[in-house]
Amino acid sequence: MPRKSQMQNVSRLSIMMVKPTIQFIQGIDEQTIPDVKLTKSRDGTNGMAIFTFTEPSVFDSSSVVGDITGFYMIDEEGVLQSVDVNAKFVNGKPAGVEAKYVMRTHETGIGS
């Protein structure tokens, strides 16, 4: 067993984990949890994830911070993004957002 003095010299490994987030405006995390539907082409070469947000929090901050610039899924591995984002309005008021992310197999490239 190592002596106490030897143990004090052992460096500790620190791992910084990034909390997965979704953003419509870069730097502003979306608080609403979406409904997600997945589709896949018959030949299996691509698929689509459709994210539906009912009353998303982005509408609370968009008038102060700016317009929706895209759909960004962020985690410790990086960012997946799409510009296929549509807002839904009911009686002139924002009611929801639908974002689509296309997934392709490795042979044809990843994401769009």
What digits encode the pLDDT tens for the residues 25-38?
999 999 999 999 99
* CB-side neighbour CA atoms (13 Å) of 82: 18
What digits encode the pLDDT tens for the residues 61-78?
666 667 889 999 999 999
Whether 19 shows a pLDDT value over 50: the answer reads yes
Which residue type is seen at 78? G
From 28, 31, 24, select the one nearest 82 (Cα to Cα).
24
Alpha carbon distance 46, 41 (integer Å): 6
Domains for the chain: give ranges and CATH numbers.
Answer: 18-104 (2.40.30.220)
